[in-house]
Amino acid sequence: MSSCRSHVWRSCDAPKKLRQLDLDPSQVDMRGSGHSSSERSVGGAECHPEGYADKDKLPIVYSDAYNISFYGLEKVHPFDAGKWGKVFAALRRAGLLTDNNFHKPHEATNEELLVVHTPSYINKLKWSAYVATVTEVPFMAVLPNCMVQRRVLRPFRYQTAGTVLAARLALEHGWAVHLGGGFHHASSHRGGGFCCYADITLAVRELQRHGHIRRVMVVDLDAHQGNGYARDFLGDMDVYIMDVYNRAIYPGDEYAKGAIRRRVELRPGTSDEAYLKLVDDHLQLALTEFSADLVVYNAGTDVLSGDMLGHLNISEKVTVCRRTRVLRLMTRAVALVILRRQERRQRKKPRWWVRPVFMARKQEGLYHTAMRRMREGDHDLFFKFYRMTPKLFDELLSFVATDISRQHVVREPLEPGERLAIALSYLASGQDISNVALVYRVGIETARRCIHAACRAIWEQLKDHFMQTPTEAEWRRIADDFTHRWQFPNCLGAVDGKHVAIVCPPNSGSRYYNYKQRSWRSPLAVATTRNF
């Protein structure tokens, strides 16, 4: 379900593009491009210090290693696992590419993948059954994992490295095209929809952590919702996502929709005129709302009429027209961003990178002060505050530490123990997130992400230990208890619920909105006679 082409667009190519817009490049102040002059010229490579580009090659990335061949068995899946080679062959026949005028990536290493992926997820991919679930190819579950690694995951690792290389090339050339990648259903901790590695997240984080870019826009025009990178960028205000997708098909990820700043949900069968107008209108609004250092364009072709997975009705002519319009709008937006940036920088108030109160986290934050003193000498107070003993806290941390750990990207990450402590404080005290965040000296959004990640990790790691499916004998015992104690025959549990009001999530639109400005959830619990 990934696209066959991904484009990356860089604002530093604007002087070349300005000539196409009949603007005078000499009138553009490049000092306002978001990087100092030293950053843009280190190593003699414009905009990028490492000089990835070979001047004799086009900024196009491809490798024959992309294509998946599994003794013909790959043909049983509706996804074309050899489409990347077909695209390259067509470009070569047209005389646009030769065997040597494009860039070939290396295979992504485990160390590189761990920049965004959790160690537990990388380990999951060593199980053929899990890869079979991600790729939706059931027979793969019975194959040796060494074969799955070589025949399936290795091509994906090449494509993942290709997306990162394309992003780096865009820093030097101003644009780049990747003939593979676009695995927009994969996130840091899970895969899905034939997407095993989060290449878009990796490309963005790799450039951000080296300080080459800060603000990124992702324009996803694949027929499917891009839920993978959306989950990774949830709450990150430096990443703006515009996603145009068929709302009636996979994945339908409500949680990931919270990260999409401009969401365009299409009806099945949407045709040319309506589609092109929606893309035009919303892309112009997106480029007006957000100025980016880098634009990642996921150019999905499953919008074409007759695609058995996309279920849209877009002609080839309009798909080509879409590409032209998108790139033209991006070019104009880049020029305007550079022309306006100096003025905006003068009139905007300074913005904190990290608030001073949060910089004192290790000296004043609860985890580094009171919590450590409670662990050392006041276990009763520790229990009242966290609803568990220090020993139980350490045991719980041993279960979830791997899943809630974060790699060092731009700033030093919070320790796993600190993330867990924030989540437990919120769950045990019932305080508002803003209060919990303040006592730990972290931002509100950071605290919110810690709570979400810890709760998800606790559920994933402990559900098999404490919520095992009862055996037939246990079901019979429960039914007998209800019969003898409450005179309810054939009863397996008593259900009760709680109506919970939730503040509407950000960018949720009309889906969660009512006159009370709340969304509602009703969690249910099932109890047996022994729980009464």
Residue 296: both structure tokens together:
């990642």
Query: Pick from 307, 301, 224: which is nearest to 260 by CA?
Result: 224
Q: Which residues are catalytic?
A: 185
Q: pLDDT tens digits for the chain (532 residues)?
A: 334 456 665 544 433 433 333 333 333 332 233 332 222 222 223 333 344 556 689 999 999 999 988 766 666 666 778 889 999 999 999 999 998 999 999 999 999 999 999 999 999 999 999 999 999 888 889 999 999 999 999 999 999 999 999 999 998 888 899 999 999 999 999 999 999 999 999 999 999 998 889 999 999 999 999 999 999 999 999 999 999 999 999 999 999 999 999 999 999 999 999 999 999 999 999 998 998 989 999 998 899 998 888 999 999 999 999 988 888 887 766 555 544 444 444 444 555 667 888 888 889 999 999 999 999 889 999 999 899 999 999 999 999 999 998 876 667 889 999 999 999 999 988 788 989 999 999 999 899 999 999 999 999 899 888 878 888 998 999 999 999 988 899 998 889 888 877 776 555 555 555 555 666 778 888 888 876 5
- Residue 355: predicted pLDDT: 81
**394 and 532 assigned to the same domain:** no
Eight-state DSSP code of residue 246: E
Q: Would residue 92 count as lying in a domain?
A: yes
Q: Give the chain's domain count.
A: 3
CB 424 within 8 A of CB 387: yes
CB 100 within 8 A of CB 115: no
**373 and 341 assigned to the same domain:** no
**209 and 160 assigned to the same domain:** yes
Domain final residue, candidates 441, 468, 495: 468
CB 114 within 8 A of CB 189: no
Domain final residue, candidates 318, 347, 376: 347
The helix (run of H) or strand (run of E) holding residue 18 is helix 14-20
* CB-CB neighbours of 300 under 10 Å: 26
**337 and 399 assigned to the same domain:** no
Residue 501: both structure tokens together:
């009001």
Q: Would residue 361 count as lying in a domain?
A: no
Q: Would residue 477 count as lying in a domain?
A: no
- Residue 400: predicted pLDDT: 93
C-alpha to C-alpha distance for 120 and 247, rounded to whole angstroms: 31
- Residue 137: predicted pLDDT: 85
pTM for the structure as a whole? 0.59
Q: Is 226 left (phi over 0), alpha (psi -120 to 50) or beta?
A: beta
CB 68 within 8 A of CB 152: yes
* CB-CB neighbours of 213 under 10 Å: 23
Alpha carbon distances (Å) from 33 to 117, 121, 339, 467: 31, 37, 9, 54
**414 and 323 assigned to the same domain:** no
Residue 295: both structure tokens together:
């634009």
Q: Would residue 473 count as lying in a domain?
A: no
Sign of torsion over alpha carbons 62, 33, 214, 191: negative
- Residue 212: predicted pLDDT: 87
Q: Which residues contact 403 (CB under 8 A, 6 or more apart)?
A: 118, 120, 189, 453, 456, 457, 460, 461
Eight-state DSSP code of residue 240: E
Q: Would residue 462 count as lying in a domain?
A: yes
**524 and 449 assigned to the same domain:** no
**151 and 253 assigned to the same domain:** yes
Residue 462: both structure tokens together:
């402990």
CA 307 from chain centre, in angstroms, equals 25
- Residue 516: predicted pLDDT: 57
Q: Would residue 353 count as lying in a domain?
A: no
CA 151 from chain centre, in angstroms, equals 25
* CB-CB neighbours of 22 under 10 Å: 6
C-alpha to C-alpha distance for 477 and 341, rounded to whole angstroms: 71
Q: Would residue 360 count as lying in a domain?
A: no
Amino acid at 87: V
- Tokens 């190593």 correspond to 43
**461 and 493 assigned to the same domain:** no
Q: CATH number for the domain including 158?
A: 3.40.800.20
**292 and 380 assigned to the same domain:** no
| Burial of 525 per CB tally in 10 Å (0-12, 13-18, 19+) | exposed
* CB-CB neighbours of 321 under 10 Å: 15
Our CA angle for 511, 513, 516, nearest 5°, is 155
**339 and 376 assigned to the same domain:** no
**374 and 523 assigned to the same domain:** no
**Whether the bond into 251 is cis, omega within 30 of 0:** yes
C-alpha to C-alpha distance for 65 and 151, rounded to whole angstroms: 10
**341 and 428 assigned to the same domain:** no
In which domain, by residue range, is 440 found? 367-468
Amino acid at 301: T
CB 453 within 8 A of CB 403: yes
Amino acid at 312: L
Q: Would residue 516 count as lying in a domain?
A: yes
Domain final residue, candidates 347, 375, 396: 347
